[in-house]
Amino acid sequence: MLTVNTRGYQGRVEKSAAVVSNDPGRTRISITLSVLVTPLFARPPGEDLMIHTVLNKPKELTVNLTSNYSKPIEVVGVKHTFGPQAEASFKPVEPGLKYQVTLKATAAQVFKAGGRVILELAPGSPVEAFLLPAYIDVKQ
């Protein structure tokens, strides 16, 4: 049996393993389990957290998230991986179902990096956190 834990994954996920035996003709056989993972929250096409701005011109982007889960999911906090270069916030639109997430580039210095906005979910949710890819580019 092959098991795939889909926490933190979205899209096509594959896990492979090698079965090693004493068959002299095929000592090693690869087996693969493939699954399509639907994200816990859907966002409209084109709504990406990709911020392009210039130094000292802070800019923010908001995405609208809708839960794909059969039960309400409570977002309890938000974090990000950009350090002092960004601020993140969230606002419930329909608590448990729809949320707005905003990422703001502080633009205090020239900066370019990809990262994540991390939505912390209440205990009992299918995962502890939902990860949103993000990108900030602050030019001179």
Find, among 76, 49, 78, the residue nearest to 63 by Cα.
49
Task: Give the DSSP H/E element, type plus range, for residue 80.
Answer: strand 75-80
* Structure-block tokens of residue 15: 């896990």
Told to check if 35 binds another protein by CB under 8 A, we report: yes
Among 48, 59, 69, 96, binds another protein (CB under 8 A): 69
Told to check if 84 binds another protein by CB under 8 A, we report: no
Told to check if 17 binds another protein by CB under 8 A, we report: yes
Contact between 60 and 102 (Cβ < 8 Å): yes
In angstroms, the CA 71 to CA 6 distance is 18
Instruction: Give me the least distance between CB of 135 and another protein, in Å please.
Output: 21
Instruction: Give me the least distance between CB of 45 and another protein, in Å please.
Output: 17
* Residues at the interface with another protein (CB under 8 A): 1-10, 15-26, 29-40, 68-69, 125-127, 130
